[in-house]
Amino acid sequence: MLPSDRRSLSMGHRGASSRFHMVREWIIFALCLGLGGHIALAVVLHAPERWPWSHAGFYGLVLGVGVYGTVQLIRALWWAVRSRRIDASVDGLERRF
């Protein structure tokens, strides 16, 4: 750890890396809410007798959170598969040497 990192941690500031991750998560969340809103809009426009306009905002929010949950599940699975591949490649390199 660099001295500047220690100073920023002792002062209670988050590092640039954690800010980057937080911004990235908020961007993913906002995109998922937007996609959920568009899905709700498409459903309301194509089946207005089943999905009333008065509930479109609620449906958009629920679908957006559902899309976000699905995206997070896919990301978790991706990282699990990726870490398994990295571990296998590191083991293969250790066996060679």
- Where are the domains positioned within the chain? 3-96
Evaluate the CA torsion angle 14, 84, 30, 59 in order and state its sign: negative
Kindly tell me if the per-residue pLDDT of 7 is higher than 70: no
pLDDT tens profile 33-78:
999 999 999 999 998 888 888 989 999 999 999 999 999 999 999 9
Kindly tell me if the per-residue pLDDT of 23 is higher than 90: yes
29 Cβ contact list (under 8 Å, min separation 6): 68
Kindly tell me if the per-residue pLDDT of 87 is higher than 90: no
Residue type, 82: R
Name the nearest CA neighbour of 23 among 1, 15, 6, 73.
Answer: 15
Kindly tell me if the per-residue pLDDT of 8 is higher than 90: no
Instruction: Say what the pTM is.
Output: 0.68
